[in-house]
Structure 1
Amino acid sequence: MFNLKLQFSAILKQRIIDQTYPLNSLLPKEIELAAEFNTSRPTINHAIHNLVQQGFLEQRKRLGTIVKRNKITQEFTHVIQSYNQEMDNKGLKAITKVISFDKINPTSEIQSALNLSTSDSVFKLVRLRYVDTAPIVEVTTYIPTKLVPDLNKIDFSQASLYDELRKRNLPVTHVTRKLEVKKASSTISKTLKIKENDPVFYFHSYGDTKKDQKIEYSIATYRGDLNSFIIDLNIN
């Protein structure tokens, strides 16, 4: 019975994530859901209560159960780890889709970020990250080909960039990030399945190795409705 309750909870959660139940809408009544799933109202009540505790639903007197959107707390602002590792630590299922992976000539912006000359080339890796089938962030990463010439042989829908760099004795040991809040363009809104002009978090990340080599320059666009960020500071 307990597994059955978790199963219905997972189904309702997925419907919230894929917007079958839109944000701020009323969840169908327990009696309706019980009839749909051919189960008892107490089982549905338990599934709903579980999602209330997780922050996906809110119960209001005389109104009903409202659909919320539980934000994913991102910790990469103060921790260097792979996206999959961070999501795994939270018990979330992360999926990565590689949009493109090309070798290009760097623009002046990329040259400056990675300390490159005009004769250098870079790999441009564009990935779309999902959590529970919802697109969360699009990341465009530039890596100097002279440091990792075989990187384009790796399937980054499965592999972690930081893990692959570590295998080549080029671990990222220091990262500088710059955060902006912007309005979603028409292109990124389609990619992240949000509305044009919706707020997005826009990060520039600069990664160095232990030898102070510039090895990574990334631009990440996070959905504003599904992400929040922790800034951890110490006072000396």
Structure 2
Amino acid sequence: MVIRRQAVVEQILDILSERIKDRTYPPNSKLPSENSLCEEFNVSRITIRRAMDILVSRGNIYRMQGVGSFVSSISQIANPIVNPILFQDLIRNQGYEPGIQFIYAQIVPLTSQLAEKLKINPDEEIVELQKVFTADGEPVIFCSNIIPKWVLKGTLFQQVLRQPSITEPIFDFLANECGEPLSFYISTLRLDEMSNCSIKLKDFSHNIPALVIDEVGYNNQEKPIMLSVHFYPGNHMKFELIRRRNIL
């Protein structure tokens, strides 16, 4: 397999994570040796070891000294609180059929607060995407993404305004179309009510509590590329966390 030189560790990490997710490497199975992976990806052992170290830190795999690395039996637990995950996958993993309803994509005023979070000039244009993810047709995630114009290079800005569906899956869109792969989020969790969500749907009761995640997404240069606000009404979704105690 040929691996591009740019962001080599991230590429290998994505491939190995996907193999764990789709059970190419089942729970408790032994992973190929570092030497085998070096030959497969045509990279150095240091590169493979860095990717494996990240998988260990995430709890996806564990090491047995002198034996090798194995897939954790609880590595399938995924949620947007710990690691970024596509909402379609999150919904599907909980046994529902995912869907998406695009509300709008439009240019919105840039406030001083938004400019500060995105680290952009006051005259920069931004576009807001509003969409609702559904589980078996029921609204379960109300999502707002704000992306600055500099991220939407060339004609992408106008394309997004005309056809917001091109932005999904959002991680693929940022990486492949914008050339700005998401590296990490800084997130804030809070409790609120759906009545305070800017997205209003007909025949949906907004008088219910919601978990809200406010996020700033960064690229590999630690530059903000997207703001997100996600409302999770307390009617369907649930999240599981793996909480590990560090023992020195």
Q: TM-score, normalised by structure 1?
A: 0.61
Q: Distance in 2 between matches of 1:152 and 1:232?
A: 41
For residue 230 of structure 1, the aligned residue among 226, 232, 240 is: 240
Q: Distance in 1 between matches of 2:196 and 2:179?
A: 40
SS of 1:229 mapped into structure 2: coil
Match of 1:140, as an amino acid?
A: S
> What is the aligned length?
164
Q: Distance in 2 between matches of 1:118 and 1:178?
A: 24
Q: Distance in 2 between matches of 1:189 and 1:99?
A: 8
For 1:121, the equivalent position in structure 2 comes to 125
Match of 2:159, as an amino acid?
A: K
For 2:216, the equivalent position in structure 1 comes to 206
Q: How does 1:84-233 map to 2 (within 5 A)?
A: 84-149=88-153, 150-154=156-160, 155-157=163-165, 159-167=168-176, 168-185=178-195, 191=201, 193-233=203-243
Q: Distance in 1 between matches of 2:164 and 2:200?
A: 22
- What is the RMSD of the two structures over their aligned residues, measured on CA atoms? 2.5
SS of 1:191 mapped into structure 2: coil
Bigger shift: residues 158-167 or 189-198 = 189-198
Q: TM-score, normalised by structure 2?
A: 0.59
* Per-residue CA distance 1:134-169 (angstroms, 9 max, x = gap): 011211110111121314525444621111111033
How much has 1:212 moved relative to structure 2? 0.7
SS of 1:98 mapped into structure 2: strand
Change (3 A) 1:169 1:134: same
Q: Distance in 2 between matches of 1:83 and 1:192?
A: 22
Percent identity, please: 16
Match of 1:112, as an amino acid?
A: E
The 8 Å contact of residues 78 and 85 in structure 2, kept in 1 or not, is answered as no
Segments of 5+ residues of structure 1 without an aligned counterpart are 1-72
The 8 Å contact of residues 137 and 192 in structure 1, kept in 2 or not, is answered as no
Looking at CA atoms only, which structure, 1 or 2, has the larger radius of gyration?
Answer: 1
Question: Of Structure 1 and Structure 2, which has the larger fraction of its residues in strand?
Answer: 1
How much has 1:195 moved relative to structure 2? 3.5
Q: Distance in 1 between matches of 2:136 and 2:151?
A: 34
SS of 1:210 mapped into structure 2: coil
Q: Distance in 2 between matches of 1:152 and 1:127?
A: 18
